[in-house]
Amino acid sequence: MRKELLNILRCPICKSINLALDSVSANECEIREGQIHCLDCRTIFPVINGVVELLSGLDDDTLKERNAGHKQRDWEVERQRPFINDNPGQPWIWPAFTANVIQGLDLLPLQGKLVLEIGAATC
């Protein structure tokens, strides 16, 4: 996470802009490990492997993937995720990921809203 990102972030819980960063590990480009604290509602958001986690209540699969870090993906687990339509003989990985994102976004009330997508840093 780049330090400059703190200037545009808001707390997803209370919408406050009063955020503080505690850096545990950083390099010249970004914060690699640490925490962001909301000074108003006191919620803490971890920074893990350079990515700030602003979502609460992560599911078990997401936590497992996050904790695996640099390890190879378990494609048997990936094939069991919802929305994957595996067509034999066709490359399914990226179309399946795209379908997951599109179908997931369609479930959110984002019409007419601005969304900051900072990437997952997996490519």
- pLDDT tens-digit readout, 4-46: 888 889 998 899 999 999 878 888 888 889 999 999 999 999 8
pLDDT at residue 96 in the model:
59
* pTM confidence score: 0.50
Q: Which amino acid is at 115?
A: V
The number of beta carbons lying within 10 Å of the beta carbon of residue 70 is 5
88 vs 1, residue with greater confidence: 1
Q: Is 81 helix (H, G, I), strand (E, B) or coil?
A: coil
The per-residue pLDDT for range 53-79, each reduced to its tens digit, is 887 777 777 777 666 665 666 666 666
Q: Where are the domains of the chain?
A: 1-58, 72-108
Residues 6+ apart with CB under 8 A from 19: 6, 9, 10, 11, 36, 37, 38, 39
Task: Sheet with 51-52: list strands edge to edge.
Answer: 19-26, 31-38, 44-48, 51-52
Please list the helix, strand and coil fractions of the chain in percent, rounded to the nearest 5, in that order: 25, 20, 55
Tell me: pLDDT of 123 over 60.
no
Q: What is the pLDDT of residue 15?
A: 92
Compute the average pLDDT of residues 76-88: 58
Band (pLDDT 50/70/90 cuts) for residue 82 is: low
pLDDT score of 120: 57
